[in-house]
Structure 1
């Protein structure tokens, strides 16, 4: 509510009463104006001042305008460092003392209370001690008459304190002063933040500017250095260029070197000094000097040039250095005096080529203003090497040019002679080309048949594979051909006949294919064909049938008629193939399949064949592991004497039980052993086990046991005399009577190399080993074996025994063999007797020895070795 007062309605007394109120109101407005001006000044300072130190001083002045603030300080709390800094501190007693203190030292004082509590504080001399006890603080330094402290806050967080204090009793503070400081403090914080931010920004700008300036200086230095390097490179290039030029005089060459050198360093004066051939005289092919226009050659003395020649390194010599050298008698006195007189600065560097000093190149200046530096010395040292090479090349080129002039005459004289020589060389080159063509041909062709070899075939096949992958509509096929009876032809008729056989085979196959097909010999009796661009697979089958028919026709070799055959594996070149080796591998697999199906046929490859090969490979690996671990199942099956009802001997054999495929058939087992070359190892394993059994029986009898044990001996053990000798040595080493050992030899294996086996069989017979011809009748059943070989027993094949009760022919065969057994001194053993009828028929025919499940089943070796008595036959008749 506003009262309207009219001066005309008030008395003088009432007016006097209003004067104090008006004065108070005037003071209030005046103070408000001061505060507004202070805030405005603070805002202006925050926008214009970039250094905090100036801001604190200005704030002090502003605060001092509306209250007595002679003693004034600002404290800032650094929370990370746990310290209190005093960026501004004015105190008539403690001024200049405080900069910063650990927070722990101040938290118990007035400043610490404001920082901890965030509350303003008003203290007077009268209330100081009482407030200190109440609020929990103590004084540091002189106790003031009056004190006002307000917190500086950024949001709700206390960042510092601002304090004014008075030590004068006439200067006291009131509540208005506290309100004023509280009001101003927040604006001061804002100003501090703005100035601090600007100060940090300007500091960052200054540091970044300094960095950029340093980087720029570095770049300028690098540019300058690069320019120097480029100048040096250009100079070296020019030196190389003028050295390579064969035209021009040497004097011009040296002058050009001087010009190039002058662009790299100050070289108003330059000379080149060279040693003569005897190394005792200096010659100056080039000399340019602003004082002395000429110089004479001279013997070696004690000059600057001679000093560099003696030291072998580049030297920088000036007036001070020359005096030292003269005092050390390295230079003559006259040279030293001349240098000092002219204030010379001289650099000389040796000219070294392949470690030999041939001379010196030197530059020099006169006067105090032009002096050489260490960098000039290093540059001269570097360039002098290239100059030395250039001088040597130029001198060599000049010498060569002179020598060429001398040679030109000799060249003319020898032109006729060289013409004759060229004719001769041309003839030699032509002969050499023919030889090279023959070498190339031989490298890609078989020497015997003149067919392409494996290298050339693989190369062509790789192209076919690439062609098929690029053009799927093109058809290719690989035929892998293996010949029958080639080994027998070689062994019986000799290698020459074998070679003639292969040549004839190559000729026959070549007639069965087209001109653009490729026939190659891989080696031995293996041939391959690449059929190119056929229309249908029937074309491939037709080629295969022609080849099979052609090879099946008789061959005349060494006047004898021989027969062979061909097994062919076919692999179509499909888009999935990546290499020639894959195709040859698959065609080879198909060929083996054709052989296993009966030979004289062709088979087209399919993936099951590859799987079969992988399985056979896995079986071979498993056989090796089983053989190494000796983990076969070992068994013994006895051969009986029917008349005595006793054991004739015990046949030892092994069974192989595969971990996943189960029991492996005996035929497959021996096929894997033969293909992997392990037959000798299997033989040795069985022999070792048989010898263990015999040793066990010998230990039980207390004397030499009459029990005999047999093993099946592969033909490989009889193919070489060393294998037979090793076999005999193993028997002797076991301390076993050879007569207790029986070796059974398979008739089918004997058929393959019968003519080579007789000496080995006789050697075994001589040491007392009992010999048995096993599976008689399963192969050729040749009676010549019975006449020629000293077998003690002949074991007739189980297939004849199985059908003896229903086949008169087989029964008659057994009777016939029995009829000649007495005359040829061998006894017949019937193998595979499975029932009583078979046993009775054989007994009635006169066969008194047999083996089979009906007579006695096999017994494991483990059972035999665990027994503590010799085998005894129980009479069951």
Structure 2
């Protein structure tokens, strides 16, 4: 039966037709509501979850509400990454949890295609082969029945992929589920970014919190350390306070020290041991111990206290170390056994008073509960010094207290003591200031004359050079002063007189200059002056003349009148000088020129002097090369016995022929040798050549050799006994008879240090060599050598021989020396015989030995070595 409705109403059939549509629309709205709810849940998760791992699980659960998502994973990838990360991976056929896969291995698969292309992918078992061939990917692992994969994008950049898949033919996906995943994916990216940002923020907060906690721990440690330092300072202050107190007994004082020490380290047991006046007994003014109540004084033995007294330093001894010390006999065995028995830990530190050990303070513990460490050792070592001072001060205070019976007297004594301490501290401060000023003064002044030294003079001179280069009109000059006869004064009167001489010289020079001029001592007998702001060079000359005249006045030293003089070199400070050393060098060169011109004068520097110095330096260098290569002209001249017309001995000497200058005079030769400090090397060279000649004569004489060779030795070879020993050893090593070796010594050289040479000359005499005094009569006090020194021959100076035919005085002198020669066991040799008249005159005086060109001219050493026989004497021509 058909029912009719009112106009405008639907019929039942029409309503029935609309029901499926209404149901479908209802499902659509319901699903939209669910999607909106899911998006809201995702947004809520992004705002509440702080860990990404929890977010992925929640997203999986939300997606599972709309579709079958049993197999679900999320892959994240950034461009150029070597790996694709899988922060969430659930798969029913893959039990292992995949965290990451190398990018190169994954890009050929399904997930790799989504990451590369940025496109979604829907696969079914029906279209898989077609789609994989078309899109050029392959399945990695088991191929799914259905699969939906969507890209995760941040803007237009793909950062990952989200994939659900089914391996069950009963579970298939539809287009709505693809739309759902595409719609949800963008919201998931936003949620990922928010959670990741929060996770990074929280991680940063955790790291910062950790840093702050570490900084706080360090601050706490520093606070604890400062508290320890403050405790130590407080303890030291208290030690000082109780030491300063004169009230109370010493026992109370030691007990207070013990209490203070116990606040710094574990010190339940403590004692103080001191040495008695005889340093043979130990006394214990304080002893506090848990086991042993008291202890008596005892003689020194091999105990712990004595070990510290012997070592002089703080020691930490426990049960392990005491066994080691006992095994080394550093401690007696009874002490070691007692410590091991009670499991002792013991620290002892010496008490130093004014640098001397007066006793020991020690602390110890029993049992295993408390063991001392190296920090405790260092602490007691540090505190012990203050305790030692406190003990000494307390003893002093106690001694004062015994002599003061009235309270007012005690107060007065304490006040005096504090006053003295303040005065002492003030005095120390003043002394320290004085010492600092003295150190500054000493660093810039000569200790003997109190004049400025080289450093201060150079500093002032550098300023003068800079001033001159800036202001050319300013006038400066440097005077270099060298004193005459200073060495003779030192050698004859001693170093004290030499010092007095230098002090007097400094005073005299100081009176010759103005207050603003600078006088300095460079060292030895060398003084320099910087004349500042003079008007004309004549002013400089006036100063130099005043100095020369002042030094020329006799000096009274050790009650004796001594004379000296001054040679002065002057260098004007001109533009172009760059340093003080250049000016001092030039003034020094001018001074040497003044000495060369006869001393007692001044010379102004010019450039030719510098050239002369360079030439002398080149001459010295050439001399060194010649000596090194042995290129001297070696000559031999014989000494003749007039009576037998035979050789007495042959004198070996060397001459130097410079490659450009030519033959160098003998005086200049030895001057260069002395200046370069090579006199010993020259002596050794001549000794080697003399030995070479004697060995040659031994060979050609077949062992029967009576020829003797002589060399001139410098006085330097007698200055030290080891030099004399080296000569004797050299002769012995060469296996030659010392009696065939003759050493000549110049009288002028002996004059300089005669009092030091006699032992060395006697030693040479005992070795068997023949000794000759050369140039007799050319120096001072010549006759003293004839009486005191064991010379076999005395060679009269050639100047006496040269004038013997025209000087009756020289004739008589030679005759007199010849007469006394037999009385003093030496023979006289006349050197420098040049003609027959001199020869005949010498014979008339009784002289029988001589040397000179008239008797025999020098021959080269090489000609001697070329002969295959011994030398033969020819008659006088």
Name the TM-score class by shorter chain.
Answer: 0.5 to 0.7
* Displacement after TM superposition at 1:559 (Å): 3.5
Stretches of structure 2 lacking an aligned partner (at least 5 in a row): 1-42, 56-83, 100-152, 154-185, 241-417
Specify the SS of the correspondent of 2:853: coil
**Aligned counterparts, 1:249-260, within 5 A:** none
Counterpart Cα distance in 2 of 1:663 and 1:468: 45
Specify the SS of the correspondent of 1:581: helix
Specify the SS of the correspondent of 1:369: helix
Counterpart Cα distance in 2 of 1:628 and 1:379: 83
TM-score w.r.t. the length of structure 2 is 0.55
* Displacement after TM superposition at 1:791 (Å): 1.1
Specify the SS of the correspondent of 2:190: coil
Structure 1, 822-831 or 432-441: larger mean CA deviation: 432-441
Residue 551 of structure 1: aligned partner: 551
Alignment CA distance shift 1:400-1:853 (3 Å): closer
Counterpart Cα distance in 2 of 1:325 and 1:644: 134
Contact map agreement 2:700 2:870 (CA 8 A) in 1: yes
Residue 536 of structure 2: aligned partner: 536
Indicate which of 177, 189, 199 corresponds to 1:368: 189
Counterpart Cα distance in 2 of 1:375 and 1:466: 73
* Displacement after TM superposition at 1:380 (Å): 7.5
* Displacement after TM superposition at 1:781 (Å): 5.2
TM-score w.r.t. the length of structure 1 is 0.55
Residue 143 of structure 1: aligned partner: none
Counterpart Cα distance in 1 of 2:694 and 2:219: 98
| CA deviation map 1:19-38 (0-9, x unaligned) | xxxxxxxxxxxxxxxxxxxx
1:692 correspondence with 2:513: no
Residue 347 of structure 1: aligned partner: none
* Displacement after TM superposition at 1:488 (Å): 3.0
* Displacement after TM superposition at 1:400 (Å): 12
Alignment CA distance shift 1:378-1:737 (3 Å): farther
| CA deviation map 1:450-504 (0-9, x unaligned) | 2111111111111111111222221111111122232333333333333222222
Counterpart Cα distance in 1 of 2:802 and 2:605: 38
Stretches of structure 1 lacking an aligned partner (at least 5 in a row): 1-289, 296-301, 305-318, 331-342, 344-364
1:761 correspondence with 2:582: no
Counterpart Cα distance in 2 of 1:705 and 1:401: 93
Residue 247 of structure 2: aligned partner: none
Alignment CA distance shift 1:328-1:484 (3 Å): farther
| CA deviation map 1:274-327 (0-9, x unaligned) | xxxxxxxxxxxxxxxx979999xxxxxx999xxxxxxxxxxxxxx986647999
Residue 830 of structure 2: aligned partner: 830
Residue 711 of structure 2: aligned partner: 711
* Displacement after TM superposition at 1:582 (Å): 0.7
| CA deviation map 1:326-351 (0-9, x unaligned) | 99899xxxxxxxxxxxx9xxxxxxxx
| CA deviation map 1:623-678 (0-9, x unaligned) | 11111111111110011111111111111001111111111111111000011110
Residue 565 of structure 1: aligned partner: 565
Residue 498 of structure 1: aligned partner: 498
| CA deviation map 1:428-465 (0-9, x unaligned) | 77765544333222221122222111111111111111
Alignment CA distance shift 1:440-1:826 (3 Å): same
Counterpart Cα distance in 1 of 2:868 and 2:781: 42
Counterpart Cα distance in 2 of 1:432 and 1:618: 52
**Aligned counterparts, 1:178-577, within 5 A:** 323=88, 368-369=189-190, 371-372=192-193, 387=208, 391=212, 432-577=432-577
Structure 1, 382-391 or 563-572: larger mean CA deviation: 382-391
Specify the SS of the correspondent of 1:757: helix
Specify the SS of the correspondent of 2:673: helix
Counterpart Cα distance in 2 of 1:375 and 1:479: 87
Alignment CA distance shift 1:320-1:781 (3 Å): closer
Specify the SS of the correspondent of 2:478: strand
Contact map agreement 2:855 2:876 (CA 8 A) in 1: no
Contact map agreement 2:46 2:192 (CA 8 A) in 1: no
Residue 649 of structure 1: aligned partner: 649
Residue 632 of structure 1: aligned partner: 632
Contact map agreement 2:772 2:791 (CA 8 A) in 1: yes
How many residues are paired up? 538
* Displacement after TM superposition at 1:865 (Å): 0.4
1:812 correspondence with 2:812: yes
Alignment CA distance shift 1:422-1:819 (3 Å): closer
Alignment CA distance shift 1:394-1:854 (3 Å): closer
Specify the SS of the correspondent of 1:598: coil
* Displacement after TM superposition at 1:875 (Å): 2.5
Residue 659 of structure 2: aligned partner: 659
Residue 620 of structure 1: aligned partner: 620
Alignment CA distance shift 1:395-1:566 (3 Å): same
Residue 853 of structure 2: aligned partner: 853
Alignment CA distance shift 1:666-1:321 (3 Å): same
* Displacement after TM superposition at 1:818 (Å): 1.7
Residue 119 of structure 1: aligned partner: none
Alignment CA distance shift 1:394-1:793 (3 Å): closer
Counterpart Cα distance in 2 of 1:650 and 1:838: 21
| CA deviation map 1:72-121 (0-9, x unaligned) | xxxxxxxxxxxxxxxxxxxxxxxxxxxxxxxxxxxxxxxxxxxxxxxxxx
| CA deviation map 1:557-588 (0-9, x unaligned) | 33433333222211111112111101111111
Counterpart Cα distance in 1 of 2:790 and 2:90: 111
Structure 1, 446-455 or 741-750: larger mean CA deviation: 446-455
* Displacement after TM superposition at 1:746 (Å): 0.6
Residue 728 of structure 2: aligned partner: 728
| CA deviation map 1:152-175 (0-9, x unaligned) | xxxxxxxxxxxxxxxxxxxxxxxx
* Displacement after TM superposition at 1:517 (Å): 0.6
Counterpart Cα distance in 1 of 2:202 and 2:648: 104
Residue 604 of structure 1: aligned partner: 604
* Displacement after TM superposition at 1:388 (Å): 6.1
Contact map agreement 2:594 2:603 (CA 8 A) in 1: yes
Alignment CA distance shift 1:605-1:400 (3 Å): same
| CA deviation map 1:125-158 (0-9, x unaligned) | xxxxxxxxxxxxxxxxxxxxxxxxxxxxxxxxxx
* Displacement after TM superposition at 1:542 (Å): 1.6
The alignment's C-alpha RMSD in Å is: 4.6
Counterpart Cα distance in 1 of 2:441 and 2:458: 15
| CA deviation map 1:389-414 (0-9, x unaligned) | 984698689989999xx99x99xx99
Residue 777 of structure 1: aligned partner: 777
* Displacement after TM superposition at 1:553 (Å): 2.5
Residue 668 of structure 1: aligned partner: 668
Counterpart Cα distance in 2 of 1:442 and 1:564: 28
Alignment CA distance shift 1:725-1:427 (3 Å): closer
| CA deviation map 1:513-561 (0-9, x unaligned) | 1100111111122111111111122211221222222222233333433
| CA deviation map 1:825-851 (0-9, x unaligned) | 211111111111111111122211111
Alignment CA distance shift 1:427-1:696 (3 Å): closer
* Displacement after TM superposition at 1:384 (Å): 7.5
1:794 correspondence with 2:615: no
Specify the SS of the correspondent of 2:590: helix
Counterpart Cα distance in 2 of 1:471 and 1:487: 42
Counterpart Cα distance in 1 of 2:427 and 2:202: 56
Counterpart Cα distance in 1 of 2:776 and 2:517: 48
| Larger Rg belongs to | 1
Counterpart Cα distance in 2 of 1:491 and 1:692: 38
Counterpart Cα distance in 1 of 2:538 and 2:628: 49
| CA deviation map 1:226-249 (0-9, x unaligned) | xxxxxxxxxxxxxxxxxxxxxxxx
Specify the SS of the correspondent of 2:457: helix
Contact map agreement 2:46 2:195 (CA 8 A) in 1: no
